[in-house]
């Protein structure tokens, strides 16, 4: 009987536990963010892997600016819900979009 008495407490603890944050990977190749549009949640991390020979940024007007050197990575953790459009400061035709759920 003892295990049954613990079941409601265990169930409550599991429900109350926050979901684990995810890392969403975006590749930069030939001046393109791929995928160009991703879905994420608050607390998730976006990680860009730049395989180009040029440096890039992931820049949000009035927001964050992540430098991503050639053959390197850059990342940002999402702190607010909403739609986020970003671009590369060095190559403004490079654009990406993130839908951030609460």
pLDDT one-digit tens code per residue, 24-67 = 999 999 999 999 999 999 999 999 999 999 999 999 999 999 99
Pull the structure tokens for residue 45: 């991390």
The pLDDT-based confidence of 6 (bands split at 50, 70, 90) is very low
Q: Which domains can be identified in the chain, with CATH numbers?
A: 20-101 (2.60.40.420)
Return the pLDDT at 9: 45
Distances from the Cα of 26 to the Cα of 29, 51, 63, 66, 80, angstroms: 10, 11, 19, 13, 19
Mean pLDDT calculated for residue range 71-95 = 97
Which residues on neighbouring strands pair with residue 38, listed in sequence order?
98
Q: Global pTM? A: 0.80
């Amino acid at each position: 009987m003892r295990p049954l008495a613990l079941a409601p407490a265990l169930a409550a603890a599991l429900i109350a536990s926050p979901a684990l944050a995810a890392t969403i990977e975006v590749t930069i190749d030939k001046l393109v963010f791929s995928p160009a549009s991703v879905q994420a949640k608050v607390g998730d991390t976006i990680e860009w892997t730049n395989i180009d020979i040029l440096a890039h940024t992931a820049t949000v007007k009035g927001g964050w600016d992540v430098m991503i050197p050639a053959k390197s990575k850059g990342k940002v953790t999402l702190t607010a819900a909403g739609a986020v459009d970003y671009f590369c400061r060095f190559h403004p035709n490079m654009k990406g979009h993130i839908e951030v759920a609460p």
